[in-house]
Amino acid sequence: MPAVRLDQLKASLVELGGFFARPVLFQRALLELLETYADLTYKPGDGVAAQRLVPSYHVPPIVLVQLEQAFYPLVQQNPDSALALADLLWQKENLETRQVAAILLGQLPSSHMDHVIERLSGWSREETDTVYLEELYQRGTARLRREASIRHLELVSHWISGPSPFLRKMGLSLLIPLVQDSSFQNLPAVFRLLDPLLHSPQPSLQPIYIDIITTLARISPGETRYFLQQQLSVGKNPELVRLVHRSLSAFPIEDQAALRTVLPRQTREGEANR
């Protein structure tokens, strides 16, 4: 991995910022910058999942951190230029260019939230690698979730209540960065969204349900445990039981014990025999 001299990187970012209102020149200069810091020796380990091997320069994380800091004031001064850049950069199937597109989207001011939501919807395509979508939802919703969390929840609700299994999965994925954000305090709204889905959770969505429940358990174990107890009191759907069982380790010991008391007897006996 190439060494990063912070003074040189900051100077390069100032130069790059000079092309902010000229998307094609900006993209060209950005690619040159990424190539400068690319790790050409990178080799994925045996444990790296095939679906996560997207085209990437494998630049040091500090490059994106500095880029994010340098571009914030430019985005506030020139939001329309930032949007044009984001549109252009997202078209290139490369991890870093799409990360930069998502960063620009996430920095747009509240006056451009309609455009942010439009891109979140338009860029969420079934054929898109999930790695790109994870970056989009994490980086691209930064101001949306902090300054317009109600609209964020409305988008999630729209996606998960529709007929498309893909959008339902993406809507659930969109919840994760929201609940992880320390500024978000409306967990009851999240539980209300999850309530009808967990009465009979789809087996194909089990991984994303587990991600959400374990995330919630780490943020607010008591509320999450109570919510799951209420779900289990309505009915012992096998998929729901399996979901709770697989999420138990994310809870403190006392909450694990409380949840086990409402799991079906055969599930508890199965745990005891492991």
Q: Please list, in sequence order, all residues whose beta carbon lies within 8 angstroms of the beta carbon of residue 137, skipping any fewer than 6 positions away.
A: 120, 170, 173, 174, 176, 177
pLDDT at 46: 47
Q: Please list, in sequence order, all residues whose beta carbon lies within 8 angstroms of the beta carbon of residue 217, skipping any fewer than 6 positions away.
A: 224, 225, 247, 250, 251, 255
Closest alpha carbon to 139 in 179, 171, 104, 103? 103
pLDDT at 159: 95
DSSP 3-state assignment of 46? coil
Report the alpha-carbon distance of residue 57 to residue 39 in Å, rounded.
6
Q: What is the C-alpha radius of gyration for the chain, rounded to an integer number of angstroms?
A: 21
Closest alpha carbon to 116 in 106, 124, 126? 106
**Domain ranges across the chain:** 1-35+54-147
Residue 175 sits at the vertex; the CA angle it makes with 174 and 177, to the nearest 5 degrees, is 80
Report the alpha-carbon distance of residue 47 to residue 91 in Å, rounded.
29
pLDDT at 272: 43
pLDDT at 51: 41
Report the alpha-carbon distance of residue 184 to residue 181 in Å, rounded.
6
pLDDT at 266: 47
**Residue with token string 């445990």:** 225
pLDDT in tens, the chain (274 residues): 567 899 999 999 999 999 999 999 999 999 999 999 998 776 665 444 444 579 999 999 999 999 999 999 999 999 999 999 999 999 999 999 999 999 999 999 999 999 999 999 999 998 899 999 999 999 999 999 999 999 999 999 999 998 888 999 999 999 999 999 999 999 999 999 999 999 889 999 999 999 999 999 999 999 999 999 999 988 778 999 999 999 999 999 999 999 999 998 645 444 444 4
Q: On the CB side of 20, how many CA atoms lie within 13 Å of its CA?
A: 21
- Whole-model pTM? 0.88
pLDDT at 52: 59
pLDDT at 200: 87
Distance of CA 93 to the CA centre of its chain: 18
**Residue with token string 């999965």:** 169
**Residue with token string 């691209």:** 140
> DSSP letters along 55-78, please?
------HHHHHHHHHHHHHHHHH-
Residue 107 sits at the vertex; the CA angle it makes with 104 and 108, to the nearest 5 degrees, is 90
pLDDT at 235: 75
